[in-house]
Amino acid sequence: MRKIAIIAIGAIIMLAAGCNKSTTTPDQNAENLKATETLLNKDYSQAQQYENLLVERHKTVGMTMTDPTCKMYDSLYHMPDTSFTMHLHEYCLEMMKMNGMGSNGMMGGGSGGMMGGGSGGMMCNMDSMMVAMGNMMNMTTMKMDSMMMLHMKNCPSMGTITENMQNMVNQMQAMRKEHQALHK
């Protein structure tokens, strides 16, 4: 299940690598940001519910991840875990479009290409980062979200990351680490 989700994320990344500049207004941008925060919060809450059920199940002496109920909760956990990354990715692509990044492809001129100037050139070219993530071995939602957030922090011209959104990503990453510990 996890491999299928990662493959699906990779396919979405590859398909979304080329973007056009958006014509959204500041009001639409605020609505998009609020909608993204709502989606991330929903995904996080659902993942947390399944994680809590899995933790409770593991409290039974001798319980392992081979138990059918544990497998079910683990599978259910990974669905909103994957959705969280996809919604964060969609938001990053929207920010890239709004700021004219990536609209000319990886090597294009202007503000979006690898050699572009005004928006940060290579450092801020999220298109190439997305393609690279799609080609990485053992890519996980934790790694992908970390790379996207690091990129957004290091490239202020990318757009807005609210404190609330940053906190949700941090909470999701902490839960993912706790989840990994259950598999050991």
Q: How many CB atoms lie within 10 A of CB 174?
A: 10
Task: Count the alpha carbons within 13 Å of 163 in the hemisphere toward its beta carbon.
Answer: 0
Burial 30-54 (b: 16+ CB within 10 A, else e): eebbeebbebbbebbebbeebbebb
Question: In the chain, what percentage of residues exceed pLDDT 70?
Answer: 61
Question: Which pTM does this prediction carry?
Answer: 0.70
Q: Binning pLDDT at 50, 70 and 90, where does residue 14 land?
A: very low
> Position 40: which residue type?
L
**Which of 20, 36, 18 is CA-nearest to residue 28?**
36
Give pLDDT, residue 157: 65
* CA 87/CA 33 separation, integer angstroms: 11
In residues, how long is the chain?
Answer: 184
Q: Binning pLDDT at 50, 70 and 90, where does residue 183 land?
A: confident
Residue 112 has pLDDT above 70, yes or no: no
The stretches of 59-162 forming alpha helices (DSSP H) are: 68-98, 126-135, 141-154
**Which of 7, 12, 142 is CA-nearest to residue 77?**
142
Residue 22 has pLDDT above 70, yes or no: no
Q: Binning pLDDT at 50, 70 and 90, where does residue 92 land?
A: confident
Give pLDDT, residue 21: 44
Residue 55 has pLDDT above 80, yes or no: yes
* pLDDT 10s digits, 25-39: 667 777 888 899 999
Mean pLDDT across the stretch 68-78? 94
Q: What does the DSSP assignment read for 8-38?
A: HHHHHHHHTSS-------HHHHHHHHHHHHH
* pLDDT 10s digits, 80-89: 999 999 999 8
Residue 106 has pLDDT above 50, yes or no: no
**Domain ranges within the chain, ordered by starting residue:** 2-19+32-182
